[in-house]
Amino acid sequence: MLAVHLVSFFFSKLQEDPTKKVDRFLYAMRLHDDQLKEISARFQAEMKKGLSSESNAAAAVKMLPTHIRSTPDGTEKGQFLVLDLGGSKFKVLQVKVREGMGIRRGGVQMEEKTYPMPKEILIGRGTQLFDHVSESLKDFLHEKNISLGKKHPLAFTFSFPCEQSKLDQGLLLNWSKNYRVRGLQGKDVVQTLREAIDRAGDMDVEVLAMVNDTVATMMTCGFDDQYCEVGLIIGTGTNACYMEELRHVDLVEGDEGRMCVNTEWGAFGDDGALKDYITEFDRDVDAASNNPGKQIFEKMVSGMYLGELVRLVVLKMAKLGLLFEGHVSDALRTKGKITTADVAAMEEYKTGLKNTRNILKALDLTPSSDDCVAVQHVSTIVSFRSSNLVAAGLAAILSRIKQNRNARTLRITVGVDGTVYKTHPQYPKRLHKVVRRLHPECHVRFVLSDNGSSKGAALVTAVAQRLASLRRQVDETLSPFRLNQEQLQLVKARMRAGLETGLKSKGPSAIKMLPSFVYRTPDGTEHGQYLALDLGGTNFRALLVNFKKGLQQNARLYHKIYTIPLEIMQGTGEELFDHIAQCVSDFLDYMGMKNAHLPAGFTFSFPCEQTSLDTGTLVSWTKGFKATDCEGHDVVSMLREAIKRRNEFDLDIVAVVNDTVGTMMSCAYEDPQCEVGLIAGTGTNVCYMEEMKNIEKTKPKAGKMERVEGTPEGEEDEQDDMTERVKKVGDAEISKMCINTEWGGLGDDGSLDDIITPYDIEVNQNSLNPGKQRFEKLTSGMYLGEIVRQVLLDLTRGGLLFKGHVTEPLKTPGIFQTKYLSQIESDRLALLQVRSILQQLGLDSTCDDSIIVKEVCGAVSRRAAQLCGAGMAAVVDKIRENRGLDHLNITVGVDGALYKLHPHFSGVLQETARVLAPQCNVTFLPSEEGSGKGAALITAVARQKID
């Protein structure tokens, strides 16, 4: 009875639509979108495993670094020999690359010759294979009359999985595609090739690069299309590569830039990741292959196996009586009798059924019309599954690139090569459609590569040569910024000499060494309410500080910030101080203290000659200020006069304070060992506690004190008053005074000319004070961005950046602010974000451009930090020697955006100071509200003394 039912069942199936019959038989091969998304997610997970150093060894998808860091930009040029080894044939080529023309306009020209690859060589020894390759190369050179009188660069396309530690080295991991050559696995195939070339003799050839055919395909398409960052091969084998962020490639040191990763995705599924998608036919193909259990994904999709999959399906259907009335010919039972070319022929649009009939007849079969329709449909399902699986893998790669870029959409080009893609009539269309369906937010363009594996190898070599040349030129440009220990020791020595000269009463000095009339640091007993006024840059701050007696670190602070418009900064002195008085009036209103007669400290962060704590004559403006009728005048008197003109409030201005001194005092309130102040921000400066006996400017001679250098004539009476103040302080046995070094002037006498670059000269000449503040112009935030812009402008004019295109923004002084250095040099910032910053500045950059910009920023900021570190070493060593100590423990109070916000500045400065002053243990303490709070502290300390 059962037999009758079975016969009846099969008979009914024989009568149905032949395509439905095949659909039901091959339901496991018909993948819907949810399954493809799941496969794509699994492949993405495998990619992540392969990229990680922790899981790479166990990963099926090896994600091999290629050491190719850039795609072509069209400027490549040169003449190269290429060996292309990867399939049943082997090619030798001469490739000429012409700059800026692109492949379509003849930018890449080739002469080639194909050499057979005998079967005995494919299963012979490695030396035999490479001797055959090198003899073929020698034959090609002779046949093409290529001169042997000069060295020829050679690129080697080797289309098998290799582990590369550099571009011209590769250890073979395993063979694929019917190659079973002995003695090469785990060996460097490039070195093996070099040895074979040497054995052949009479060839002067340098092997510069080894390239996978997939990578070469991407590079070929990238020569014409800058968006091409993915390579895909669907031919005898299959593979994909793409440009990955280097920070994700654990197997390669460094995190700057990108690197092409050769996925070797043919091995996807070797660890069982695809076991629920593998059919009995896939298992049969695998079992009969040269490498059972390996290259599972490749065996499901590549040209080497598609024909065999179709044959196995047709064979089984025939055995079950579903085809050919159950007849099975010997030819149909024979492995390899249906090829992938047959599969392509069966699916031709108009002639497909006719071709199918002819192919089946050649297998000694007598097909009916329904048989032909059914076999054609088998072919369609097998090849459609292939394109679907490739689409799923490609979707995973596109997802990863989109995530790397943190982008909502993605515009990208995929370079494609391989016989299946090229010759199968339906394959490309199906692939494109499914990729776009799986990734609708990606704008994907597919470009067919022409001789990609050969041209691409030459282009890889050309790109490598371009990058090496670029690297040399960038290094030459930046070398003057890279200071060695000997140069830093000289800067330290010159700073020390400048400090000593500035302390003397006579003679000019680039470093002014201005007395501050601050004789001691806080002791924690300061108390009361004080007003602090802080002018040091483009902002003015008014602060109310309340110190509570006897409680260390207990200060309440209220403040308000006011901008100083450019027209006020560069207008008249009267306008500037009237503006300050207006801001103070507003603040007192804001605090409800207009009628209070408060003691005030005035932080004035510009070089001043002081004759007492509450007088300060402006020596010169810095930091972009240029208000007239101020230099040579007492700034405290000017402020008092402005307050008097306003006639709304009254202040007792007790002290005029440099921001650097204020920073030191603020930090000394927290740490009694703080006796140095450092500002590294818009400007730069240092102050420190100097021994009174060393300050010759304050020493009386013949009953009268020498006039402090820069003190205006006719103010000698004030100078005498200073003498009296110093004597009174001396009676109280105070032996130190804080000196405001104004170290930004180092080099104004030419002492730094040997380290000043042409870019520094340009910045100096275009500044508001040419020839002044030379050290500050090398180290401070006001100028670093402009130095970077000058370097970028020079590199661009030399064709090394932005494709040589000098934009208007790049020509605009001041556009590259120092804050961009801090952002660009951040370790957390990906190059894509660097490109975004440059784009905001109107600079359209490539990834390579971004790397160079980051390097320029790093060189300029590192030099600045090293110079500050060398200067600091001079200061702390002087303090140590002043005190006759073998070892000094000291704290430096620091303020300034450059020190606080730049990711590396503080570390480089500290390390330089440590190395150059090994007998000093220096602690750097960042200041909180330093300059303002410090002015209040100086006022409090001075008031305590009077009380």
Active-site residue set: 541, 605, 659
How far, in Å, CA of 122 to CA of 416, rounded? Answer: 26
Measured CA to CA, the distance from residue 404 to residue 133 in angstroms comes to 40
| SS3 category, 254 | coil
Mapped onto helix, strand or coil, the DSSP state of residue 32 is: coil
Element (H, E) at 314: helix 303-319
Closest CA to 682 of 745, 619, 776: 776
* Per-state percent for the chain, helix, strand, coil, to nearest 5: 50, 20, 35
- Looking at 798-929, list the stretches that DSSP marks H as alpha helix, in order from N- to C-terminal side: 818-824, 831-840, 847-882, 897-901, 905-916
Query: Which pair of structure tokens corresponds to residue 82?
Result: 């290429």
Residue indicated by tokens 């046995």 = 733
Q: Tell me the three state secondary structure of residue 368.
A: coil
Count of C-beta atoms within a 10 Å radius of residue 841: 18
Report the SS3 class of residue 336: coil
* Helix runs in 58-177, H state only: 119-122, 126-143
Residue 424 in tokens: 């199968």
CB within 8 Å of 440: residues ≥ 6 apart: none
CA distance readout (Å), 299 to 26, 234, 342, 379: 17, 12, 17, 15
CA pair distance 459, 454, nearest whole angstrom:
9
> Is the CA virtual torsion 401, 404, 405, 408 positive or negative?
positive
Contact at 8 Å (CB) between 796 and 806?
A: yes
- Closest to 140 in 3D by CA, of 127, 161, 126, 154: 154
For residue 262 the two structure tokens come to: 């050769």
230 within 8 A of 241, measured Cβ to Cβ: yes
User: Cα(38)–Cα(256) distance, rounded to whole angstroms?
Assistant: 32
Rounded to 5°, angle at Cα 699 from 698 and 703 = 120
Cβ–Cβ under 8 Å, residues 471 and 847? no
- The Cα–Cα gap between 825 and 848 comes to 15
- Strand spans (E) along 772-836: none
**Which H or E run includes 598?**
strand 598-604
| DSSP secondary structure, 212-251, as one string | -HHHHHHHHHHHH-TTEEEEEEESSSEEEEEEEEGGG-TT
747: three-class secondary structure by DSSP? coil
Q: Which stretches of 653-780 are DSSP H helices? A: 659-670, 716-731, 758-765, 774-779
Using CA atoms, how far apart are residues 574 and 577, in angstroms rounded to an integer?
5
| Whether the Cβ atoms of residue 902 and residue 684 lie closer than 8 Å to each other | no
> Which residues have a Cβ under 8 Å from the Cβ of 355 and sit 6 or more positions away?
342, 345, 346, 348
| Strand bridging mode 78-85 / 152-158 | parallel
CA–CA separation, 794 vs 816, rounded Å? 14
